[in-house]
Amino acid sequence: MAKKSILISLLLVFSCTVFAQKKSEVVSSVNFKDDKQIWSMFTKDIVNFKVDVMYIYGELYVGKYMPDSLNHQLPTLRQAYLYPLFSRYKKLGNKLYTNFDKEVYLFVDLNYEGKKTFRRLWQQLLPYRRMLSYRVGPKWTQGKLKIILTGHAPKLLIEKMHSSYVAFQGEFNQEDLAKDNNMVPVIGMDFREVVDWNGVGNIPFDDFVKFETIASKVHDKGKKLHVYNIPENQSVWEVLNRNGVDLISTRKPEQFQSFIANAK
């Protein structure tokens, strides 16, 4: 056990050295209830977001579970995300952030009826297309915001479309790793399905090696690794950041952003 602990420590130091100049980016996985919440994230330099979306009687609502009543108070995707993002884009002169010029990711998790939800999403994205990354045929044009679908995304339908305003998150398998990096820019990893460590104490050696192997293979293909469903504590954030994870979903985005800003 002592040898394993020493080896893990050495591996962590090595990982920290390799990835020292690149820090993980936070993905806020909080479902916002109104536009005020996302505006507060802008001021804290939180640039990526994940939202659960449901199709209910022709509209797309933010939420993970179907409401019990038609008189629910769930916000729409347009109210809580699309419109405030577009307003910010126009306010800053076709930018979303003054000090961040890369693509911003909005992960849209399609719950339940994937095809029906996607078709409605397609319609709702059209008014905001000026700020979106999009594809015509095989050619992609980079915008300021990239919509990445997760959950019940109709991947085959999207791939066959001549033009598209969305990409999708891949899984850790040979097929998705081999796909075009614009169509599948990110590989998703459910932390709890891959490793047993709960963030308490040192990460077990076998879990560390397993995780490091996945990160390495994803990066070798030129894709980003997005880790979600994590134990929400600083020990986990530290291990993920040191291993060069590109995107980390958390329900504590402000705390994570503070941590990452001070990480060496």
According to DSSP, the residues that pair with 167 across neighbouring strands are 148
3-state secondary structure of 207: helix
Token readout for 40 is 């507060």
CB 190 within 8 A of CB 226: no
Strands 247-250 and 166-168, bridge-based pairing: unpaired
CB 220 within 8 A of CB 243: no
Q: What is the pLDDT of residue 99?
A: 86
Q: What is the pLDDT of residue 4?
A: 47
How far is it between the farthest Cα atoms of the chain? Answer: 60
Phi, psi of 201 (to 5 degrees): 75, -165
Per-residue pLDDT of the chain (264 residues; tens, 9 = 90+): 544 444 444 444 444 434 344 789 999 999 999 999 999 999 898 999 999 999 999 999 999 988 887 778 899 999 999 999 999 999 999 999 998 888 999 999 998 889 999 999 999 999 999 999 999 999 999 999 999 999 999 999 999 999 999 999 999 999 999 999 999 999 999 999 988 888 999 889 888 888 888 999 999 999 999 999 999 999 999 999 988 899 999 999 999 999 998 887
Distance between CA atoms of residues 95 and 101, nearest Å: 8
Q: What is the pLDDT of residue 10?
A: 41
Q: Domains of the chain, with CATH numbers?
A: 19-262 (3.20.20.190)
CB 132 within 8 A of CB 165: yes
